[in-house]
Amino acid sequence: MLKKIKDWIGTNLDVYKVESANDVGAGLVRHIWKGEETATQVGTTLTAQIMNDLQKGLVHTLDTTRTVGTNKDIYEVTLTGIEEFGVFDGLKLLIRIDGENQFEDVFLKLGGTEYQIYQLKNNLLDKVDKGILKDKKEYLLNFKNNSFVLSDSTLYGSQKGTALEGNRLAEILGLEFGGNIQDIGNKTKGKFYYDSVTKYYYECIEDNSLTYNDTGKFRAISNKPIMDKLENLFEIETKTITIPNGTIKFTKTGKVVNAFVHLQNYKTLMSYNDNDLISSYPPNFAPNPNYFNNEFAIISSEKNNINGNTRLILRKDGVVIWGTSARQYYELKGSAVYCI
């Protein structure tokens, strides 16, 4: 129930005048209320009904004392004045649990009477799950039809369709919740934020004031994007490029690439100059710049079986060969491994 309380507004609402001494006594003043006659706004008269209905709409926070009956948990509370009202439909109690429930039959003892507590499951009332009421946690109960119903909003995400308590989410993630990425304001490194566009959570890895998700500022911590990244680690893609005297095969597993070079010609000896380009990179196979100029030794079969120090080098434009000057080869093979 809602009842707006109004004040009296107007002039000369209270009038005091001296009446006959025979009526009120010599020198006394008689009070005459003129509100209904002169008020521009009639005030609210607070009746017992109004005040009682207001009290019935309150949520009463109570501590419980847990005892155990025959295959049942009993949580006893004290609510001063309930005897005068009686336990009524719509009574709301926020109870602080004294010990986890060990049974499915759970009762609230109020005013000496035990009332069973039910839980809504698939839109039907059912007994509460064993262990769902956690020690020191608070739960909202609504009284209806001679029993209490446990509110889903205070189940802290312990069941499908129930709300997850904010600080429990922070405990699970090991980070402090900072708000929404799209909100205006500073984002703090080490806190996590919700992206209303992707519907995922992200850790802030660098202080910023952005209102959009920048991968350089935020790192995904929700299961879905993380699982997507893990699945990408097992995705394999291969590109084979034919080059003079052989092939170079690029095999990408996730972000790791193996570039295998095989050059062979036993009829006409092969010769190369230092820094000759063997092959450019296929699209999406170029190395991370941190791998540029890394060298990888390869196996060589030279004229007269002289083993050389031939190697592959990753350049910005592609894979080059080195250590070949003034040499002739029957076969060259080897791999360069890098991340993109």
Average pLDDT for 79-98:
90
Mean of per-residue pLDDT scores for the chain:
83
Four-point Cα dihedral 203, 209, 215, 219, nearest 10: 0
Give the pLDDT confidence score for residue 65 in this predicted structure.
96
Q: What pLDDT score was predicted for residue 1?
A: 40
In whole angstroms, give the CA distance from residue 30 to residue 24: 7
Give yes or no for residue 168 having a pLDDT over 90: no
Which pLDDT band holds residue 56 (cuts at 50, 70, 90)? confident
* Residue 54 confidence (pLDDT): 80
Angstrom distances, CA of residue 164 to CA of 153, 167, 242, 294, 331 = 8, 9, 57, 50, 64
Q: Is the pLDDT of residue 3 over 70?
A: no
pLDDT on residue 239: 95
What confidence tier does 169 reach under pLDDT thresholds 50, 70, 90? low
Residue 23: pLDDT over 70: no
What is the torsion angle, in degrees rounded to the nearest 10, for the CA atoms of residue 179, residue 184, residue 185 and residue 188?
Answer: 40
Percentage of residues in the chain having pLDDT higher than 90:
39
User: What pLDDT score was predicted for residue 19?
Assistant: 53
| Nearest CA among 143, 139, 136 for reference residue 82 | 143
Q: What is the pLDDT of residue 2?
A: 46
Instruction: Give the residue-averaged pLDDT of 63-76.
Output: 95
Query: What pLDDT is attached to residue 45?
Result: 74
184 burial type by CB count under 10 A (0-12 exposed, 13-18 middle, 19+ buried): exposed
pLDDT of 242 higher than 90: yes
243-278 pLDDT, tens digit per residue, is 999 999 999 988 899 999 999 998 888 888 999 999
CATH number of 236-339: 2.60.40
Question: What pTM value is reported for the model?
Answer: 0.43
For residue 154, what pLDDT is reported? 60
pLDDT of residue 6: 72
- Which range has the top average pLDDT, 30-34, 41-45, 74-78, 129-133? 74-78
Nearest to 287 by CA among 310, 262, 256, 312: 256
Lowest mean pLDDT among 24-38, 39-53, 234-248, 289-303: 24-38
Lowest mean pLDDT among 198-207, 227-236, 263-272: 227-236
Q: How would you classify the pairing of strands 236-243 and 246-253?
A: antiparallel
CB atoms near residue 255 (< 10 Å): 13
Q: Which residue has the higher pLDDT, 159 or 1?
A: 159
Provide the pLDDT for residue 283: 94
Are 299 and 333 contacting, i.e. CB atoms less than 8 angstroms apart?
yes
Please say if the pLDDT value at position 11 is more than 50. yes
> CA 33, CA 307: separation in Å to the nearest integer?
119
Q: Look at residue 63 and tell me whether its pLDDT is greater than 90.
A: yes
Confidence check: pLDDT of 338 > 80: yes
pLDDT tens sequence across 117-128:
998 887 788 999
Mean pLDDT of 102-110: 95
Q: Where are the domains of the chain?
A: 9-53, 58-154, 166-230, 236-339
